[in-house]
Amino acid sequence: MNRVRLFQIARTLRTGPIDYAWAQATFALLALLRRLPADRSLKIAAWLGRTFGPFSARHQLAKENLRLAFPDRDEAWIEATVRRNWEEMARFVAEYVFLDEIFDFDPNDPNVGRIEVDGVERFLELRERKGPFIFFTGHLGSFELLPVCAATFGLEITALFRPPNNRHIAKRLLAARRTSGGHLVPSKAGAAWSLASTLDRGGAVGMLVDQKFRNGVLTRFFGRECLSNPLLPKLARQFDCEVYPARSIRLPNGRYRLELQPRLDLPRGADGAIDIPASCQLLNDVVEGWVRDNPEQWMWFHDRWHVGKAARAKLAAQAARKLGP
């Protein structure tokens, strides 16, 4: 057994009781919130996030990320945005127990309820013809409402997601997500095969494209280097998929807007095939535009831009091999 595996086992044994305690505390809080009306519970969750989030070690990371992404903004705006970010993230966690109640959109009466949908005609058009289709989004707003919305229009989506590091919370969240339509594929070994199988049948898959990927393509996000997952453009190239951006935005007074945007044409090389690095950059650019629209609704405490020495050395070696002797 190698040293890395031994370290992973030791870390699991050390953090296991802590993870379990955090999970039980989270479940207890969510159970308490579940006893209250949705609107009241979400307001309480937002208050908890705004009040206690700044005490987290991630608070300073979020502020630093915002400073680098918005160098023209002053410290008052940075601090206010981070505090609103904690409010949004806490609201997002609480929304898990109310997803079915929150999503009250009725296609036959679209102007009633807390949900508004931009792109109804696209949902209906895609429903009437065979795929394969790929939908992508970012960690903005209440993005978990997007597959629920698709299911309302008869589109079943197989979604790729990254489980939380806490395995107890991950198990509970996976069970909660299953109640809202569609299928879920955890991002681990074999995930690409599951998505490929869905696309090969003419189905639809959904992906989050704003996460750090250790073995990814070197791209830029807010002008800073980061690693991006090339899976979406690789699947689009292999199965000749249509690609659609989708986003969720929280609106004032407990309302939400869900958008299915026009088809995104990925860049292609001289041979006509989809250009993987250029497509990864285009996806970043789309998400960056969304984040600039509503900066308080994106996960700033995530270390999206970390590119370690090992990853940078591997990328340099790959580039050298492409150039040849």
Give residue-wise pLDDT tens across range 148-163: 899 888 888 888 766 5
Question: d(Cα 153, Cα 294) in Å, to the nearest integer?
Answer: 27
CB proximity list for 151: less than 8 A, separation 6 or greater: 157, 180, 181, 182
**Does 3 map to a domain?**
no
Residue span of the structural domain in which 232 resides: 116-323
Percent above pLDDT 90 for the chain: 52
149-162 b/e (C-beta count within 10 Å ≥ 16 → b): bbebbebebbbbbe
**Does 153 map to a domain?**
yes
More confident residue, 280 or 108: 280
**Does 295 map to a domain?**
yes
**Does 296 map to a domain?**
yes
**Does 69 map to a domain?**
no
Closest CA to 160 of 217, 104, 231: 231
**Does 49 map to a domain?**
no
Q: Is 186 helix (H, G, I), strand (E, B) or coil?
A: strand
Closest CA to 142 of 94, 109, 178, 174: 94
Q: Is 30 helix (H, G, I), strand (E, B) or coil?
A: helix
**Does 53 map to a domain?**
no
What are the tokens at 214?
A: 């250790």
- Confidence band for 31, pLDDT divided at 50, 70 and 90: confident
Confidence check: pLDDT of 7 > 60: no
**Radius of gyration for the alpha carbons in the chain, expressed in angstroms and rounded:** 20
| Amino acid (1-letter code) at residue 303 | D
Confidence check: pLDDT of 116 > 60: yes
In total, the chain counts a number of residues equal to 325
Domain total of the chain: 1
**Does 140 map to a domain?**
yes
More confident residue, 249 or 215: 249
Question: d(Cα 137, Cα 285) in Å, to the nearest integer?
Answer: 12
More confident residue, 97 or 72: 72
Q: What is the mean pLDDT of the chain?
A: 84
